[in-house]
Amino acid sequence: MSSTPAITTGSSDAAADAAKAAAAKKAAAAKQTTLNYDNFLKLLLAQMKNQNPTDPMKSTEYMSQLATFSQVEQSVNMNSKLDALLASSAMSQAGNLVGRTVTSADQKSTGTVTAVQMTKDGLVAHLDTGDDVPYAPGMIVS
């Protein structure tokens, strides 16, 4: 008897949409609190316009600043890709829980997982007993 794992999200693509929305929200917050490329160029131009004419900044210093900013920008991009990878891993784990018996970390709920839902706080296993168990450290899967 084979059954297809059920991963519920409220709609067919709600988990993916929620992950994308969370990533977009993080990106928007990051843009508001960090210096973006356009702001950096504006600051660089202002620095060039207002530098001391008798002791101008060397072009190597400008290039160093630009390279440093580029490295920071690449680190931010890499972090967003890692977040997407973690979300993908969580969805993979969700599929593996369906049909397995789990016990909550506090040992109060035990049952067979009928569905898994991805929420903003992480994965939640829905049990055949009607209980919901968060996928968290201390949870026993058998």
Cα distance between residue 34 and residue 27, in whole Å: 10
User: In which region does residue 11 sit, left (phi positive, over 0), alpha (psi from -120 to 50) or beta (all else)?
Assistant: beta
Prediction pTM value: 0.46
pLDDT of residue 17: 62
CA angle 28, 120, 15 (to 5 degrees): 90
In order along its 142 residues, the chain shows pLDDT tens digits of 444 444 444 444 555 566 666 667 666 655 555 666 677 778 778 877 888 777 777 778 778 877 887 787 788 788 888 988 988 887 787 788 889 999 988 888 899 999 988 888 888 889 999 888 888 888 888 8
CA angle 21, 116, 13 (to 5 degrees): 40
